[in-house]
Amino acid sequence: MPNDAPSATTCPDAAVMNGVIPYLGLNGRAGEAAEFYARAFGARELGRYPDEQNPGRFMHVQIEINGGALMMTDQGGCNGEPTPSPQGFHLQLVVADGDLWWSRALAAGCTVAMPFERQFWGDRWGMLRDPFGLHWAINEAAG
């Protein structure tokens, strides 16, 4: 949904809204990120609300990836402070077919931070960097 018009919100399954939901401040790139995550991780957009005061920017964008919610905004930090750069975390996807998720993300434009390979704990795991500076781990649990 690349335009800035308000979208009809898809009511997500209640399970998508459980647990911890990351809410990312993307400094004017939330709409672009939603579109990228659709290509890289099969995201399904649930809704976006434009910032009426700042055309081309969004107050809120919500997507679903692999059964979980991810929320984004173009707004700054609290009390008008700039949004800090992401640090000290990554987003982890636990999937049945790691090769499919890994290759799709690379084809969309992610780069390898750590190769996708068997780890000492038995799972196949690797880490990617997206064009927005965020790290994503693909974890295929050992069967």
**Domain coordinates in residue numbering, the chain:** 14-77, 91-140
pLDDT digits (tens, 9 = 90+) for 1-21: 444 444 445 566 777 888 889
C-alpha pair distances (Å), 109 with each of 89, 115, 130: 20, 15, 7
Fold: same for 14-77 and 91-140? yes
Fold of 14-77: 3.30.720
Strand partners, 49: 60
pLDDT digits (tens, 9 = 90+) for 96-106: 999 999 999 99
Fold of 91-140: 3.30.720
Give the chain's end-to-end CA distance (angstroms, integer): 37
Structure confidence at residue 132 (pLDDT): 93
Reply yes or no on whether the pLDDT at 72 is more than 70. Answer: yes
Reply yes or no on whether the pLDDT at 109 is more than 50. Answer: yes
Reply yes or no on whether the pLDDT at 130 is more than 60. Answer: yes
Quick one: pLDDT band at residue 83, thresholds 50, 70, 90? Answer: low
